[in-house]
């Protein structure tokens, strides 16, 4: 499968990449690892006229401590997250979730920023970042703005990112010894989840239960009240609007959400 | 656009379309046919090559993205040491790690990439690490044995090297 022809540019800085976005507007698309965008282009579901390759910008690839947070460059690869000693001790949910994405070849290429900007509701890392209450740093022609993960995802493959903006950094609160777990259900280990649940520090996020990744807020309230995992998980699917597809019916997805949240909560409080 | 890619130690400079996939560059421009196009959707791993030492699926990488990098394919494994097979290839032969052979170049490169990151993997680690490579003959047992044998052979060689 061959993508529709496009122009390719590889700017040598974030500023130069932003200039390309400003110049080409909706004709341009940022390319990082390319493991979400290129498959769509090969299927001709996406046909940008200009690809702006930011996959090699060293200024976007880092994991470092900063006060109460760990800050991660948007160009950091899944494999970097998976093997980061800092994350393993300070934000253990994130390397665990990164390790469940695709397979080693995919994780060598895919980036955290790319996964978030893609806005797929069935995606692992957006679910983790939402559960972690992370803050996303966006850069555009008018400077930098920060957006809480809870406000970043606006619809099916849609985010608050403007056409001339770029996600440059993800700021994740250190969770240290707080309980956490990730429960992912799919047919094959390297697939997207049919449903997944991320739990950390009493917060709960779900993949593939709505047009965006979502928090299970009623479950979170129940946990805060001191409900046990079984009771709190009973309301995990309240307010969700899961799609029906070849993998699962709506009632089955709701069942999975309750089941996976109960398992994740049980693991997290251990 | 012009790309400069070092493939199996030889530098190549070619004029390519930006949309040319790395696997098509290797197969159709350079005539290196080891990397196979299996699923063409980054699921099967038959097109696995190493990009700057890391395993990638070359059906989901643009040749343009490989500009300035070093790529290794199965063709580059043998012959570097007086025509002998690479320990991974030798292990696939000795352990009968192939049936029809279509997945083999990708499996071999995935195995080489795995040992570069983790020289002494457990059997479970090998099984988990080749999750991105499908063998439709389902010959996984011998493939896992082959990668473990190659790891053992390499660490043996390493020890011999230190002794000498």
Is A8 in Cβ contact with B62 (below 8 Å)? yes
Residue A174: which region, alpha, beta or left (left: phi > 0; alpha: psi -120 to 50)?
A: beta
Smallest CA–CA distance from B48 into chain A, residue: A105
What pLDDT, on a 0 to 100 scale, did the predictor assign at position A188? 85
Place of tokens 């709505």: A210
Q: Once rounded to an integer, what is the mean pLDDT over residues A202-223? A: 98
Report pTM: 0.96
How does strand A63-66 pair with strand A69-73? Answer: antiparallel
Q: Which of A1, A39, A109 sits opposite B56 (nearest CB)?
A: A109
Mean of per-residue pLDDT scores for chain A: 97
Residue A111: which region, alpha, beta or left (left: phi > 0; alpha: psi -120 to 50)?
A: beta
Give one DSSP letter per residue of A214-256, joined into a string: EE-HHHHHHHHHT--HHHHHTTTTTT------SS--HHHHHHH
Q: Answer whether A205's CB lies under 8 Å from A127's CB.
A: yes
> Could you give the angle at the alpha carbon of B63 between the alpha carbons of B57 and B69, nearest 5°?
85
Q: Once rounded to an integer, what is the mean pLDDT over residues A20-34? A: 97
pLDDT in tens, A78-119: 999 999 999 999 999 999 999 999 999 999 999 999 999 999
What pLDDT, on a 0 to 100 scale, did the predictor assign at position B160? 76
Give me the sign of the Cα torsion angle B112, B118, B119, B123: negative
What pLDDT, on a 0 to 100 scale, did the predictor assign at position B163? 58
Report which of A137, A192, A203, A208 is spatially closest to residue A170, judged by C-alpha positions.
A137
Q: How far is A241 from chain B (nearest CA, A)?
A: 29
Q: Once rounded to an integer, what is the mean pLDDT over residues A217-245? A: 97
pLDDT < 50: residue spans in chain B: none
pLDDT in tens, A63-76: 999 999 999 999 99
Percent of chain A at pLDDT > 90 equals 97
* Contact with chain A for residue B51, Cβ under 8 A: yes
Q: Answer whether B132's CB lies under 8 Å from A103's CB.
A: yes
Cα–Cα dist B3/A179, whole Å: 48
Q: Classify residue B87 as exposed, middle or buried by CB count within 10 Å of its CB (0-12, 13-18, 19+).
A: buried
Contacts with B107 (C-beta within 8 Å, 6 or more apart), sequence order? B45, B48, B92, B97, B98, B130, B133, B135, B143
Supply the ipTM of this predicted assembly: 0.95
What pLDDT, on a 0 to 100 scale, did the predictor assign at position B62? 98
Is A55 in Cβ contact with B42 (below 8 Å)? no
Provide φ and ψ at A193, rounded to 5°. -70, 145
């Amino acid at each position: 499968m061959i993508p529709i022809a496009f122009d390719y540019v590889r700017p040598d800085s974030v500023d130069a990449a932003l200039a390309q976005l400003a110049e080409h507007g909706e004709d341009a698309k940022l390319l990082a690892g390319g493991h979400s965008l290129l498959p769509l282009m090969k299927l001709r579901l996406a046909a940008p006229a200009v690809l702006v390759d930011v996959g090699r910008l060293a200024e976007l690839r880092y994991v470092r401590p900063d006060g109460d947070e760990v800050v991660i460059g948007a160009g950091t690869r899944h494999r970097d997250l998976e093997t980061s000693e800092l994350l393993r001790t300070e934000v253990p949910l994130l390397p665990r979730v990164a390790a469940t994405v695709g397979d080693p070849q995919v994780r060598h290429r895919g980036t955290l920023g790319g996964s978030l900007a893609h806005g797929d509701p069935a995606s692992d890392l957006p679910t983790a970042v939402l559960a972690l209450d992370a803050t996303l740093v966006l850069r555009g022609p008018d400077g930098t703005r920060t957006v809480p993960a809870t406000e970043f995802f606006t619809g099916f493959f849609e985010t608050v990112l403007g056409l001339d903006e770029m996600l440059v950094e993800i700021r994740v609160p250190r969770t240290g010894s707080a309980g956490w777990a990730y429960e992912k259900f799919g047919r094959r280990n390297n697939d997207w989840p049919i449903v997944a649940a991320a739990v950390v520090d009493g917060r709960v996020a779900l993949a593939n239960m709505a047009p965006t990744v979502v928090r299970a807020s009623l479950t979170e309230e129940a946990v805060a009240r001191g409900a046990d995992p079984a009771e709190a998980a009973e309301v995990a699917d309240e307010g969700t609007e899961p799609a029906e597809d070849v993998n699962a019916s709506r009632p089955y997805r709701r069942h999975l959400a309750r089941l996976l949240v109960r398992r994740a909560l049980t693991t997290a409080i251990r | 656009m012009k790309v400069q890619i070092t493939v199996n130690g030889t530098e190549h400079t070619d004029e390519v379309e930006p949309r040319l996939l790395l696997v098509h560059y290797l197969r159709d421009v350079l005539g290196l046919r080891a990397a196979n196009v299996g699923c063409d959707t980054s699921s099967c791993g038959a097109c696995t090559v190493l990009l700057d030492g890391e395993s990638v699926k070359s059906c989901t990488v643009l040749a343009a993205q490989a500009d300035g990098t070093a790529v290794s394919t199965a063709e580059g494994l043998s012959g570097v040491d007086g025509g002998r097979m690479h320990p991974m290839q030798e292990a696939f032969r000795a352990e009968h790690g192939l049936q029809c052979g279509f997945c083999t170049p990708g499996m071999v490169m995935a195995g080489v990439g795995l040992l570069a990151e983790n020289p002494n993997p457990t059997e479970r680690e090998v099984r988990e690490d080749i999750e991105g490579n499908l063998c439709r003959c389902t010959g996984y047992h011998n493939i896992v044995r082959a990668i473990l044998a190659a790891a053992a052979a390499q660490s043996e060689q390493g020890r011999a090297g230190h002794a000498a």
